Amino acid sequence: MNWWTSLLPLEKGVAGADVHLQYQGQSRSNLPSTTSEVVNKNDVMLLRNRLSRIYFNRNFFDYPLKLNVDSLRKLGLRKTVTFGVSYVVARLRPRKPEVSLEDFLVNRFGNKLYRQFFKEYTEKVWGVPCHEISAEWGAQRIKSLSILKAMTHAIKSALGLQGKAAAQTSLIESFIYPKYGPGQMWEAAARKFVESGGKLLMQHKVVEVDISESQVHRVTAQDSNGLSRSWNCSHFISTMPIKDLVSASHVAWPDDALNVAQGLQYRDFFTVGLLYPKSALVNELRDNWIYIQEPGVDVGRVQVFNNWSPYMVADPDNVWLGLEFFCSETDSLWKKTDEELIQLAKKEMLSIALVNSEAAFDAVVLRVPKAYPGYFGAAYKDFDKLRSTLDKIENMYLIGRNGMHRYNNQDHSMLTAKEAADQIAGGYVDKGKIWAINVDDEYHEEKSPNLSDRAPPAG
């Protein structure tokens, strides 16, 4: 985090010593303050509050879903009792062995709660039934629930008996965020790299990786005009999808590893941005993200860009909403024209009553192929064989999200990059340390009685 603030310091007026960040179960105090008066006031981090909610049945629920009085009231007595009974049944007769994500979720939340809050949404996000996704995915992303703890918490809250420590956990979460969005930090990092003598080639695609005798020797890339150039290399750090890396290497990989690489699957994503006047919102939206659990629509999640940073919206009387759709490049949804997607997005916003009018001032469509590495498919089961084969290439480091075919968030991705850089600078190789990032970390903490931490997807 000190590295982040060395690139983009905290905005002026925010004293680092007073900042207490709390985000997704992690906390941090005493950030370095902006020391220089000459800091460009645009190249700064803002201190922002986090609010994400689930939208279901025209009601907003906490995200991750919490079993508190408010949620139970919105669900109603009948559903609460049904979910409770189904949970008890699941605990008494758990599915064994626990193979799929469905087994994992039913065992922890009960069949009814699973069907209401996890099944449809997870399948919308991943495009495959939960019984085809590995249970490992759940173990990595979703917290277990102590129903007893959750119930005790709900009853204590209702009776006003929450202690001081418990009250602390419900403090509003806050985080630091670049004034003009996450890309701004990487623009600052790129500037610093170039100023320090680094050479950065944008719009170059690696098309060939020359590997022999457990070493990467040479890399060929094509620029946007299709012109190819090659470079010798001492180290090769890769964020390109593993599937592409293996096919660019022309190596006689062992069959088992090659089959896994060729069979890796991905989930694609597009987002439709819609600009409305704030008066078009049915409810005031203070959320960063709204997880859409209403049935019958394709949209999976909505971002409210104003709430990430107000500076990302030119007119404060307007609101930029980012509707997120999860699909595959082969789906008819992906193949629609941008105009058709915009019409669909407007229609869905109106049909779930987040806005009261179809009239958006402006709209934009952005497509992100291979946004999510898939933890499913026959090939994925043998991923470790591919990993150990690639790890043997001594001067090649797989990092990041698609680079490792791992559902890493940006912080994990940065840590994998940092670990690779530390190893190269330190002159040693320990690939296991890179793979150990984002395994058994905060997901296994249990601080507050959430039904699901980072229900899919956090991003």
CB of 153 to ligand FAD, least distance (A): 27
Q: 300 or 449, CB closer to ligand FAD?
A: 300
3 state SS of 268: strand
Contacts of the segment 347-351: beta carbons below 8 A, 24+ positions apart:
348/297, 348/298, 348/299, 348/323, 349/274, 349/299, 349/302, 349/321, 349/323, 351/296, 351/297
Residue with tokens 């084969």: 389
Q: 403 or 449, CB closer to ligand FAD?
A: 403
Residue of 141, 456, 455 lying closest to 326 (CA atoms): 456
Give start and end residues of each alpha helix (H) in 134-254: 135-141, 147-159, 164-169, 183-195, 242-249
**Which residues contact ligand FAD by CB under 6 A?**
205-206, 239-240, 244, 269, 368, 371, 400-401, 403, 408-411, 413, 459
Cα separation, 287 vs 62, whole angstroms: 11
Cα separation, 107 vs 80, whole angstroms: 18
CB of 401 to ligand FAD, least distance (A): 4
Q: 403 or 456, CB closer to ligand FAD?
A: 403
3 state SS of 308: helix
CB of 291 to ligand FAD, least distance (A): 13
Q: 158 or 312, CB closer to ligand FAD?
A: 312
CB of 318 to ligand FAD, least distance (A): 22
Q: 151 or 415, CB closer to ligand FAD?
A: 415
CB of 96 to ligand FAD, least distance (A): 34
CB of 385 to ligand FAD, least distance (A): 22
Structure tokens at 433: 């340390």
Residue with the shortest CB distance to ligand FAD: 400
Residue 355 has phi, psi (to 5 degrees) of: -125, 165
Q: 254 or 459, CB closer to ligand FAD?
A: 459
CB of 83 to ligand FAD, least distance (A): 29
Amino acid letter at 147?
A: I
Bond preceding residue 64 cis, omega within 30 of 0: yes
3 state SS of 432: helix
Q: 24 or 107, CB closer to ligand FAD?
A: 24
CB of 301 to ligand FAD, least distance (A): 9
Residue with tokens 């039904």: 451
